[in-house]
Structure 1
Amino acid sequence: MKRLIILILSATSLYSCRKLDQPITREYTDAAYWRTNDDALAALSSCYENMSNDGYFFGDEALSDNAYVSGDGFNAVSKIANGAYDPSNGRVTAEWGYRYTCIRKCNVVVLNIDKVPGMDSTLKHRILAEARFIRAYSYFQLVNWYGNVPFYTDLITIDAAKTIGRTDKAQILDFIQSELTDIRSSLPVNNYTGTAGGYAEKDKGRITRGAAIALSARVHLFKSEWQGAVDDCEKLIGNTTNGTYGLMGNYSDIFTTANEYNNEVILDLQYGGGRTFSSQRSFLPQTVALLRSVLVPTQDLVDDYVMLNGKGIAESGSGYDENDPYKNRDPRFEATILHDKSTITDFDGKVQTILTQPGSNPSTNSIDDQGASPTGYYFYKYYDRTASNYNSSLNLIMIRYADVLLMYAEAKNELGQLDAAIWNQTIRALRVRAKFTDAGATEFPGGTKEVLQTIVRRERRAELAFEGIRPFDIRRWKIADVVLNKPVRGIKVTSGAFTKDPNGYIIVENRIFSNPKHYLWPVPTFEHDQNANLGQNDLW
């Protein structure tokens, strides 16, 4: 059982332990609360519990062209992805309530911590910084999905909640940026040694200074503030002042329980103890997880992985063989996706060969089977063989150092400054780690900003696939109306009664994404019915 600990003040030591991965069950009243450091830390734990969850982490992938969810799984995200939703959609409604619940919890901490008598100043400011980070993160999620939203930092009353209007997203983004800058000095770095300025070993998983800086860089990218993103990234790249980060030697090892808290992780969602997830049962082959496979990769994602020589499959000289489509591809492809004839070691230690083509024997994982992947692919990344009864305690990585490198490369390119030196620090480093050896893939290709933009964006997709990043990228790049406004495709087949495109690839679903309507979600029906002052986003 992993030990994610909250530090509390004690008589013999500055800190003692409380597990963040255990739900808060203590009942209390306002009058009896905020008497001890433990009270404040328990309230902070509740903020952590509401920062995110596995349903959003994995389900968000299907809000992009990387994945598809069959049926109404993951709060009906497929209805959003195919444009067949309205303000009453389950995910649209749940996201709003989830984020504001978290914001209220954070406001409780920020506004009440001064009531605790005799609290150590360092501890107090650290708790405040963590709560403000989580609040900023929650507002950032809201702005990404809804645009203008209600904004407050107090404990809003029920009456006020029924009349509050929405604040311009630019003002909220400015607040987020200001918060992330202001809290940095109160957050320790990730050296985990227990020395001054760092967290002790027992504190792994807590928000650090590096997380505040990395999230700030992400906000700058969202706002197309390229120099701001560069400045933030340079605080973490080749600079140990704000934390010691680097790339793990092997890509697949990042996403295992044995390597949690490695120095590539900047921010992760904590699981273990009383908090586990079983979402992997929805994306693994049903012969492995014994459940229907509903969250699955798309052919479009598969097609975007480059060849070992760095060329896209449609480029001249790539060496791509349509009859052997998975040969000589980006090694991260095999680490992320299971395809026809892939092998996987199941929970019982047995090696299974996954067969997805129609007519396969056995047919359990083929597209012929009702419970199998409708695209003929399965996700492999984040498969946790150590899970007990399929319930995983594996932490889910929200920000890692590879993302910082990719943000840096993107921002530098948008400034017209992506040269061989920056390439070597970023894209080349990632590809060498992925085990590319061909100079065509590792050496700086040169070219115009537009040519390099295509390479950087493709690299970002391959490196971060199935990590919940793609839906936000396609929206900030304003390409969602292109990549989501076409059919979801699966494997190429030569037999069977399947709907296929002219090239023989299965068409799973037709998607519609209207520009500008679908770039923002609507205000949920329930919220609008309670408060007419919220108005509604355009075209909804």
Structure 2
Amino acid sequence: MKYIYIIVASLLLTATSCKDFLELPSEKDFDSSTIFEDVGKVEMAVLGAYTSTFNAELFYQFGMGTDECFSTEGETNSKNQVANYVFNPAISPTGTYTAMYAGVEQANVLIRNIPLMTITDDAEQDKLDILLGEAYAIRAMNMLHVVRHFGDVPYPTIPVVEMPDFSSSRVSRDTILDGCVRDLQQAIELLPWKGGSGMPIERVSKNAAYGLLARIALYAAGYSLRWDLDSYAPGSVQLARRSDTPRIQELYEIARDACKAVVDRGENELIDYETIFRDLVNGKYNKESMFEYGQKGADRNEARLGYTNGIFAHTQSFYNKSQPAMAALPTYYFEFEEGDVRRDVTISNYAITAESTHQMNTYANHMIGKYRVNWKADEGVSAAQRDINWIHLRYADVLLMYAEAENELNNGPTGVAKEMYEKVRLRAFQNDRSQIGETPSTYEAFRDAIIQERKLELGFEGWRRTDLIRWGILYEKLTATKQEITDLANHTGKYADVARYRAYQVTDAKAFNDPTIALDFVSLKNEPTATEKAELERQGYTILDMYGNTAAFFNNRFTANEVWVRNIFRGLEKNKVELFPLSTNTIDANPGLRGQQHPLY
């Protein structure tokens, strides 16, 4: 049983505590020939496999290049290039691909060996059933991450040492995603509901497995970039759904039923939107968050959540350094309707200066607000390692998936679809029904509403790029967004009345659990006169040119001819960039992939 060493070695190298529920024994306590003779050691192996379920690329490289988010790094930086669709096999991201397959191998070893274990009593059997269910869920979610970014890929379902050789070729993503659906259906049979089970949020419960099943079913039913796997002919590349229409309908039914199971169970609920993310950065749990990747401890902070994807905090500030490499597109701020509480949580309109004050951001440097360091109760392990979990799944997502599946199945929104959609809308407007507007009644209008609502609800949570692809609209949506950015920069079209200046008051940022959500401001359509300026300054206001370069971070002017504006989405090509090419090293390492590169690369 040599292959068991793979999982043990990975466990010892990468696993550590998730909110302190896991303490690893020393290496001498592991024996590759006896690990599956002890339930406790099997649990350690499962917990080790969870370390592969998340990678910084999922929110960083793959999280940019959307109608929400752009890269603040220079145009020659590979992450900026990936964010703007200027990629090739030499710079194609590899971290997620490698990490996900490591987890798949761990899951395969577990799935192969747990059923072969000798069981002594019912309690032990129940424990092993849960562990097996978790292994199925890990394999499914990891394969989704690979497929949604790379398409048809190798699909190992047995441990490496049982394979006839170490060469694996591409497999149709339909086959893979159908396998992931089966894995999660199996997991659901084995896993307990969260309530009363004692399952920590960093492990997959039945609730989470249902949500993950719905997600995978929607991806399996949606659009993706496809080509002929026999010829790899460039002319065969097209954005399309699978050809089996009855299966598409069946997948929507699976998604609908999975979401319904979670809603009917009643264990999860929507909570105050701001509280979701204040809880997140402080390691607190609530009924909306359904599954998180644990970042507790120095060894699990490699993703640098809150640093790369947070607000700017000067290295000399009270909170120490936070250095974002990604920010909110200027137009995203204006997508939120007046009164929508999500806007100022999702997008921070301030940065933290060296003097530990809140400084208002310009339109060009609005930052990601959900993971802001000043909302924490402490600094964390270090400036770049803040102990912030990553939310894989929350209840609002389940409600929106439920509404989407109902609309697809019935060629228009049912009463249930509208109810689920309105639950999310109402929370955004603090349950004021007069503010949410009329819910669309036709298929197309409701679909568009779901597309927009997911953008507002799930901003910067890592799903937007591939959501746009599964809807078949990435190119169209980003092309329209680029025009809107230009219009905002030129102060034309629907942005003609946007304020050019804001007056705000500088406030202190010198305490943890900072209550500041957003800085209040006075909108000034035009530059104030000398008299107006003097009066505002007398009242303690600072006047900011919202198109200028006075900023704590990313201090670039916002005009249409600025390089950073011109270069947004500069490599965008329809029916090409919807999938990444495999990296050169990935193909070189696997003989089965020779000659199987993305046909347009």
Aligned partner (choices 370, 379, 384) of residue 368 of structure 2? 379
Q: Normalized against structure 1, the TM-score is what?
A: 0.78
Q: How far did 1:35 drift?
A: 3.2
1:233 aligns with 2:222: no
Write the distance in 1 (CA, Å) between the matches of 2:258 and 2:163. Answer: 40
The residue number in structure 2 matching 1:211 is 208
Is contact 2:136–2:186 with CA below 8 Å preserved after alignment?
no
Partner of 2:167: 163
Read off the aligned partner of 1:244 and give its amino acid letter.
E
C-alpha distance 504-31 of structure 1, shift in aligned 2 (>3 A): closer
Deviations 1:240-290 (A, max 9, x none): 1xx611111x10101233573311122111222453353312331233552
Pick one of 269, 283, 286 that aligns with 1:246. Answer: 269
Q: Distance in 2 between matches of 1:404 and 1:347?
A: 41
The answer for the alignment partner of 1:141 in structure 2 is 145
Matches within 5 A, 1:450-489: 450-485=444-479, 487=482, 489=485
Matches within 5 A, 1:294-313: 294-308=325-339
172-181 or 501-510, which deviates more: 501-510
Q: How does 1:127-526 map to 2 (within 5 A)?
A: 127-157=131-161, 162-191=166-195, 193=196, 199-200=197-198, 203-224=200-221, 225-237=251-263, 239-240=264-265, 244-248=267-271, 250-257=272-279, 260-274=284-298, 275-276=300-301, 278-282=304-308, 283-287=310-314, 289-308=320-339, 330-339=340-349, 342=350, 352-357=357-362, 375-384=364-373, 385-386=376-377, 387-388=379-380, 389-390=382-383, 391-414=385-408, 415-419=410-414, 422-423=417-418, 425-436=419-430, 439=433, 441-485=435-479, 487=482, 489=485, 492=489, 498=557, 500-501=559-560, 507=566, 509-526=568-585
Helix, strand or coil for the counterpart of 1:399?
Answer: strand
Aligned residues of 1:63 and 1:77 also touching (Cα < 8 A): no
| 1:48 positional shift | 0.8
How has the CA–CA distance of structure 1 residues 440 and 29 changed in structure 2, closer, same or farther, with 3 Å as cutoff?
Answer: same
In structure 2, relative to structure 1, the CA distance for the partners of 1:263 and 1:356 (3 Å cut) is: closer
2-side partners of 1:256 and 1:53: how far apart?
A: 22
Corresponding letter in the other structure for 1:100 = Y
Say whether the 8 Å CA contact 2:82–2:92 is kept in structure 1.
Answer: no
Identical aligned pairs, as a percentage?
A: 23
User: Any unmatched runs of 5+ in structure 1?
Assistant: 1-16, 194-198, 309-329, 358-366, 368-374
Q: Which moved more, 1:37-46 or 1:264-273?
A: 264-273
Do the aligned partners of 2:100 and 2:142 also contact (CA within 8 Å) in 1? yes
Q: 1:33 to 1:439 in 2, by over 3 A?
A: closer
Alignment root-mean-square deviation, CA:
3.3
Secondary structure in 1 matching 2:86: coil
The aligned length equals 468
2:5 corresponds to which residue? none
CA distance in 2, matches of 1:172, 1:333: 37
CA 495–394 in structure 1, closer or farther in 2 if over 3 Å, else same: closer
Distance 1:97 1:178, change over 3 A: same
3-state secondary structure, aligned to 1:430: helix
Q: CA deviation at 1:230?
A: 1.6
| Change over 3 Å in CA distance of 1:306–1:420 after alignment to 2 | farther
* Partners of 1:81 and 1:484 within 8 A in 2: no
Tell me the distance in 2 between the aligned counterparts of 1:83 and 1:382.
26
Cα distance in structure 1, aligned partners of 2:426 and 2:19: 40
Q: Summarize deviations over 1:382-409 as a string: whole Å, max 9, x none.
A: 2242332333223221111100111111
Alpha-carbon deviations, 1:41-62, whole Å to 9, x = none?
1111111111113452354321
- Indicate if the aligned counterparts of 2:440 and 2:449 stay in contact, CA closer than 8 A: no
Q: What is the letter of the counterpart of residue 422 of structure 1?
A: A
**How far apart in 2 are the matches of 1:178 and 1:474?**
25
SS of structure 2 residue aligned to 1:34: helix
* Separation (CA, whole Å) in 2 of partners of 1:170 and 1:470: 21
Aligned 8 A contact 1:500 1:507 in 2: no
Amino acid at match of 2:41: D
Q: Which amino acid aligns with 2:371?
A: Y
Are the equivalent residues in 2 in contact too, given 1:96–1:524 (CA < 8 A)? no
Retained in 2: the 8 A contact 1:428–1:443? no
